[in-house]
Structure 1
Amino acid sequence: MANQFIILSVIIIITMINFMMWSGALHSNKSFLLPQLTYAPSKTPLQNTTDVLQSMQEIRQKLDAEMEILKNLKIGKDTEPDSFKEHFQVGTQKCFNAKFGFFQKMRLFSITQVPLRRRTLARIFKPNQYYLLYGSLAPEVFCPEKIRVGTVGDGGKWVCNPWKVPRDSVMFSLGLNNYIGFEEEWQQMTNNSNVLYGFDAAEQNPDTKNTYSNIRGTFRQATIAVASDPSKHKYTIEDLARTSNISDIEILKIDIEGAELTCLIPFLTKYQVCQIYLELHGGAPEHVALLNRIAHLGYRLFSYEINGYSMSACEYSFIHDKCIDKYGGMPIANYLDFKV
């Protein structure tokens, strides 16, 4: 309200100054407004009085108009916000409420589809039934800040709000294959927030290892297996975490060409991560089985992308129930967590 009175005061002052200048011009013998008219003394007082009254009426009308404008800046009655900032916040909240209302409608509608999706997934028995698999998939969590990190082709991952990742948290990358574009872009976006641990069955070239080291990464040659055999560089995922002295893993990125079918679940039963970026290989029933077991452990699908080279490969992105709020997600409906 203080700002409104200041504006009103300035308007009144400017208006009065204009009026005094106009009045002075009327009394001047050198009036620039009517230079060609002959001065008539007998009519001047009457003309001046009439003009003054007309001018005062115009000023009154202008002030009333300005007051109306200022009143319109005040939203509602005394119990409602009376500042522009609060008005903006209220408007933003109303907009959010409207969008949230539509989200709730979408969520409720999605819940009605859960039984059909589950029945369809449960009836996939043939390796080539990808049309049923991919036709039954839908996000279980809505992530407003979902973005694709890494290359636009094979190797990029859909992630949920990387700017919310805790500082100095751990990212496990299983299967580098001399490509670390995802990790480079992730660290660039997050100001090197994560400590990276990368593993691959093959030794990486010097340039890859040097670049990885410069973005807070440590590489180790390891083949992911169901049982560890250090003499052959074979390790379970949980043993890699244990021997790296890692107890908490925030992000798990995994592309190990089929080994995920046997090696991922034993790890997830011992370690809870917040987000999983998984490339899954296999027939349609193998996809369903692993997705179902991941869902049993509290992970919800927020994105999937079919590999352009093969229908048997698909990128899946999950977030754990306990991490949805932290990353700004919104639950929709759980349909992958069903009894086989």
Structure 2
Amino acid sequence: MRVLVTGSAGFIGFHIARRLIADGHLVVGFDGMTPYYDVTLKERRHAILAKSNGFRAKIGLLEDKAALDEAVADFRPDVIIHLAAQAGVRYSLEHPEAYVSANLDGMFNLLEAARQAAVKHLLIASTSSVYGANSKMPFRETDRTDWPITLYAATKKAGEAMSHSYAHLWKLPTTCFRFFTVYGPWGRPDMAPIKFTTAIDEGRPIEVYGEGKMRRDFTYIDDLVEAVIRLIDAVPEAGKPVLAEGVEDSLSPAGPWRVVNIGGGQPVWLMPFIETIERHLGKKAEMIMLPMQKGDVTETFADASLLTALTGFTPKTTVEEGVKALVKWYRKEVRSLGA
């Protein structure tokens, strides 16, 4: 199978591309290498992928329609996994224009390229942030997502809606998946798991927002990859919803389009998560307790029943196991290099 992965130098894209290569598929990675965080980390991820003959990198921005069209036309992918985006909730408060260009203009270009290529399945990364001010727990795919509280969430919600229109108009089979606080080796340095691990190890204080009174449905990267790989074969078909007791399918009545949560449905309080990092590092954290930041939510909690019904898989890695693996990687790849 030929798979185009956008955002292949990013945290999640790297892991998904590596798994696809290991499974014997041909992968083209399309990435803009933007400096949202240290580009060196992105280059190291791509260098690992480039060791395989099954991988080829194409450097370009989603906003560059000609470059994206060329990459898709040259490769002729069977499947596109679209992970590239301007990420980060807090960054959207300071640089909103980056989200409009990458997540809206870029999404349009990606949809056009996928339409022209007539791919068998388009898979698009969304986020649990689209649930916004929705307080109903756990979050189910059929819940309302009309109250985004950051521009980041609004652009990801818009991307879901844009892809639905293409699925309807052009019969383009599309699955959007909503990620829930993904963490693990090679993770983004701007996210709490890596930030906390690095600061605690270096003896620097960590900033704990909401005074630690927050819960997150932490999803270990290997679980997320397994879910995405299995969803490739779960191609949505109009008029053929999942028929399983207790499962509400998000399949559209207007086309081959579906949205799926990827989370374990086991939210963990932030303070025990920090304590787990402390235990595996063998060091105590110095904490600066701060109020909730604008754009944050107090809790994320996935209903994973649709994912399980579609794939037979539910994320199951415990925080204890996941943090242990994260710290092991950190000691080998970050601390040892002085990065």
Output the TM-score relative to the length of structure 1: 0.35
- Rg (Cα) greater in structure: 1
